[in-house]
Amino acid sequence: MGPTIVKNEIAIRARGLSKHFGSLKAVDDVDLTVHRSQVYGFLGPNGSGKSTSIRMLCGLLTPTAGEIEVLGLTIPEQAEALRQHIGYMTQQFSLFADLTVRENLEFLAAVQNLPSKKARLRVDELLEEYHFEGRAGQLAGTMSGGQKQRLALAGAVIHKPELLFLDEPTSAVDPESRRDFWEKLFELTEAGTTILVSTHYMDEAERCHRLAILDRGRLVADGSPAELTGTLDGRTLLVETEMQYRAKQLLVKVPGVISAAQIGNSLRVLVDSDRDCQRHIEAALSAGGVGAEVRPITPSLEDVFVAVTHQQSNAESPQEEPEA
């Protein structure tokens, strides 16, 4: 009999999690706590350490340093016992193109050692729940991207896992399929499943109950979307002008301005402090002959991402050596 899964409020806890590949620090001293029945998001660009972190958390990759506990089990030592309690889905959709929808699900049920009667009932249940009733005999390779995504998710939950790892699961599908996919994720959390999902889409990050922002292997922010955007209150401004290009040239030279991005006919400006920044911006634009209206706006997660990655870049900038 395998180790007992301990029920508590914490699904995942990692401390000092690191993974080095030679001189490359793919994941660097990450602390992480994921509560049960949450959608917890990993937000970051390619190469930020999202996939490496997920592989360590589910026991597929041994960390260079750090401690991991998942569903009360110590990882990677008890990774084999963990596998029957977790699901794992990647952006590649691990399906057999030359098998039908039903055959794919039957194969995955066998991999999870479901008894044959239970497997048949579960496959029938998933065919209905994921809207494949009329497609059970269709070859997986002939389906659209969104249909393959739904089938991959159905396969990942065939054994009703307590914890689901999703690594960039929506990067290859259209916006409508992404929306439908997220509705399924919330149905799963309502039923008690904990989900850790990596993404580089800001709109998906906003859907998460809690969010970690990763940048170059470091965890640079952690909190609910509302908590994270709340840290930037007063630091985002909208500049409305008919001279966007000229305005941007002027703005990037104003002390305290972190970024100025053109959004349609406006500029979205992020500053490192709310102290007099609006006044300085208005003065710089006026002196440069640019007529503009400047007003505060509600921060977005994209603003948070720009701000925290800017802070890390500054922290990692080499300091000048003092003169001897």
Q: Tell me, yes or no, whether 217 lies in a domain.
A: yes
State whether 101 and 250 are in the same domain. Answer: no
Structure-token match 């001279």, residue found: 243
Q: Tell me, yes or no, whether 178 lies in a domain.
A: yes
pLDDT of 249 reads 94
State whether 249 and 156 are in the same domain. Answer: no
pLDDT of 323 reads 37
Q: How many CB atoms lie within 10 A of CB 145?
A: 14
Profile the chain (324 residues) by mean pLDDT over runs of 10 residues.
Answer: 64 97 95 96 90 95 97 96 93 86 96 94 96 93 91 95 92 83 94 94 92 94 95 93 93 93 92 84 94 94 90 54 36
> Please, which residues have CB within 8 angstroms of residue 112's CB and are 6 or more apart in sequence?
84, 158, 159
Distances 23 to 20, 29, 48 between C-alpha atoms, Å: 7, 15, 15
State whether 187 and 291 are in the same domain. Answer: no
DSSP class of residue 142 equals: G
What is the end-to-end Cα distance of the chain in Å, rounded? 67
State whether 211 and 245 are in the same domain. Answer: no
State whether 129 and 89 are in the same domain. Answer: yes
Residue 65: domain span: 10-224
Q: Tell me, yes or no, whether 118 lies in a domain.
A: yes
What sign has the CA pseudo-torsion 198, 204, 207, 212?
Answer: positive
State whether 238 and 220 are in the same domain. Answer: no
Domain count, the chain: 2
State whether 191 and 101 are in the same domain. Answer: yes
State whether 238 and 217 are in the same domain. Answer: no
pLDDT of 124 reads 96
State whether 174 and 266 are in the same domain. Answer: no
Q: What angle do CA 110, 114, 120 make, to 5 degrees?
A: 85
Q: Tell me, yes or no, whether 320 lies in a domain.
A: no
How far is 46 from 295, CA to CA, in rounded Å?
33
**Beta bridge mates, 88:** 165
Q: Tell me, yes or no, whether 323 lies in a domain.
A: no
Instruction: Report the CATH number that the domain containing residue 214 is assigned in CATH.
Output: 3.40.50.300
Look at residues 175, 194, 224 and tell me which one is the last residue of a structural domain.
Answer: 224
Closest CA to 25 of 2, 45, 3, 47: 47
